Amino acid sequence: MCAARNPVAGRDGLAVLDAEEIRRALTRIAHEILERTHGGGEIILLGIPTRGVPLARRLAALIGEFEGLEVPCGSLDVTMHRDDLRLRPARALGRTDLPAAGIDGKTVVLVDDVLYSGRTVRAALDALTDFGRPRAVQLAVLVDRGHRELPIRADYVGKNLPTSQREVVHVLLAEVDDTDAVLIEDGGQP
Amino acid sequence: MKRHLISAGDLSRADALLILDTAEELAILSDRPIKKLPTLRGRTVVNLFFEDSTRTRISFEAAAKRLSADVINFSAKGSSVAKGESLKDTALTLEAMGADAVVIRHSASGAPHRLASWVKGSVVNAGDGTHEHPTQALLDAFTIRRRLKGLGGAATRGEGLDGIRVTIVGDVLHGRVARSNVLLLSALGAEVTLAAPPTLLPLAVGSWPCSVSYDLDSELPKSDVVMMLRVQRERMTAAYFPSVREYSRRYGLDKARMARLPEHAIVMHPGPMNRGVEIAAEVADSARSTIVEQVANGVTIRMAVLYLLLGGTEFPEVTQ
């Protein structure tokens, strides 16, 4: 791991994963998903906007590469189900785009970039209930930074990243930010 | 976003686009098995209707319920207003009941503006006299964008109505829909033309951000959107045109006139329609007509408005 100040445009912070490492982590997660779901026959990958969506697409592409499977892939916006809506001005909504076949009886793998308090995932679980009844729900994240506030854990983790709550974790992905990297920045305030 | 939605003129282009984009995301709700979101649970929305209305009241009610808000319907008929209670006292009563938002329709222009100074919650104008009807303009803009800028989806996000030519036809003088639409559509970049007999145009129309024509036929070939307004006979206290038949001949949209529109053009009407007066039945029922779509989009756009006004912090004083 390179521990130098990161040169990534516009972002200050310590790089903890570079593009190669992100690719390797996703490759491993893709294999783990296949293993845990016995070949990935009945799975749906749902990314949580913004950066969970490209991650879900990448995982779907990798699974397709390994097993020749076309894995349905979509996005699930959880804004309307969040528990902190009243703490901030109303925010713009992200896209929800579920595979036409629905999620009933399938294994849904939620994909997000960073797992922190667990509240986003809680909201995602609530949102899913309105769409149907999956057989099982699993969670894949690129970075688990700890500090959970709810009894939630990830099934697939790209990297466990012990952080302090003062720090900010930035996940940059080529689809959104033109580059792949995970950075840690000292946020200054607790 | 401001705390209230009183006039379409209060909305900047960015505000309007935020509402349209939010509505775009909420539109998928109608395809879901459970058409409900928990977002406004525990919030109370009061529908305060001093004037008759079917679609607007039902639309606001459906929108609030789909966001899980509690809805109290208040119509002037059969209430203390019939006993002479003033708007202010009614407002204070609602305030005491803890209304988070008041959706008001009133026959007096400016009533929502007054109400906003008496209540703590958000005030949404659902039509005041001959002044404004901002959510109607928003749903019209939403319908135009969906039809003419690609059928929804992420692609239309952040897109305005630039370059779209809209002709609004008919009773601009008594219609609040026209004023709101002129303000909103021009803020979104559309070119708006009003086509009406001189007697049905307000005096101050020169200061509106639109052009004016007395000849509908010359406007039709260059219109992407024709919006027919209802002839509001209940508000007409004098003879504004010689006869309904003459009005219909000059400003009504019939099949022959529709044929002069460009291939892609759409026909809109805010409802309720006077079939055979401003719009012929065969036009209203044609594939170009978006009238039913407008009603469906109305619920979506009102959900977006209620969410943006009530979904965040209690008092988002700072505009974005």
Query: What's the number of domains chain A is made of?
Result: 1
pLDDT at residue B231, rounded to an integer? 87
Q: Which of A96, A126, A132 minimises the CB distance to B28?
A: A96
**Poorest-pLDDT segment among A57-61, A124-128, B83-87, B102-106:** B83-87
- Phi first, then psi, for residue B176 (nearest 5°) are -75, -25
Name the residue of chain A whose CA is nearest to B152's CA. A95
Q: Which domain holds residue A124?
A: 14-83+94-186
Which residues 6+ apart lie within 8 Å of A4 measured at CB?
A15
Average pLDDT value over all residues in chain B: 90
Q: Is residue A180 part of a domain?
A: yes
Q: Which of B1, B39, B320 minimises the CB distance to A80?
A: B39
pLDDT values of chain A reduced to their tens digit, one per residue, 190 residues: 444 444 555 567 889 999 999 999 999 999 999 999 998 889 999 999 999 999 999 999 999 999 988 999 999 999 999 999 888 888 889 989 998 888 999 999 999 999 999 999 999 999 999 899 999 999 999 999 999 999 999 999 999 999 999 999 999 999 999 999 999 998 765 5
Identify each DSSP E strand in A32-81 by its residue range. Answer: 43-47, 73-75
Q: Is A89 on the interface with B (CB under 8 A)?
A: yes
pLDDT at residue B319, rounded to an integer? 41
Pairwise CA distance, residues B53 & B272, whole Å: 10
pTM of the model: 0.91
Query: Is the Cα dihedral B295, B168, B133, B308 positive or negative?
Result: positive
Whether ipTM tops 0.90, in short, is no
Q: Is residue A28 part of a domain?
A: yes
Do residues B197 and B230 lie in contact, with contact meaning Cβ atoms separated by under 8 Å?
no
Q: Is residue A47 part of a domain?
A: yes
Q: Is residue A4 part of a domain?
A: no
Q: Is residue A164 part of a domain?
A: yes
CA A138 to chain centre: 11
Q: Is residue A5 part of a domain?
A: no
Pairwise CA distance, residues B250 & B278, whole Å: 9
Do residues B256 and B138 lie in contact, with contact meaning Cβ atoms separated by under 8 Å?
no
pLDDT in tens, B224-277: 999 999 987 776 666 788 888 889 999 999 999 999 999 999 999 998 899 999
pLDDT in tens, B23-66: 999 998 887 888 899 999 999 999 999 988 888 999 999 999 99
Tokens 């008929």 -> residue: B77
Q: Is B311 on the interface with A (CB under 8 A)?
A: yes
pLDDT at B320 > cutoff 50: no
Q: Is B22 on the interface with A (CB under 8 A)?
A: yes
Give whole-number Cα distances, B264 to A27, B60, B166, B223, B225, in Å.
48, 31, 13, 10, 9
Do residues B253 and B220 lie in contact, with contact meaning Cβ atoms separated by under 8 Å?
no
Do residues A75 and A46 lie in contact, with contact meaning Cβ atoms separated by under 8 Å?
yes
pLDDT at residue B85, rounded to an integer? 81
Q: Is B133 a catalytic residue?
A: yes
Do residues A77 and A95 lie in contact, with contact meaning Cβ atoms separated by under 8 Å?
yes
- CATH of residue A151's domain is 3.40.50.2020
Q: Is A133 on the interface with B (CB under 8 A)?
A: no
Nearest to B37 by CA among A130, A121, A74, A46: A130
Domains annotated for chain B, with CATH where assigned, are: 8-132+296-310 (3.40.50.1370), 134-290 (3.40.50.1370)
Order of strands, sheet of B266-268, starting from the edge strand that comes earlier in the sequence: B211-213, B191-195, B165-169, B225-228, B266-268
Report the C-alpha dihedral over residues A149, A154, A159, A163, rounded to 10 degrees.
0
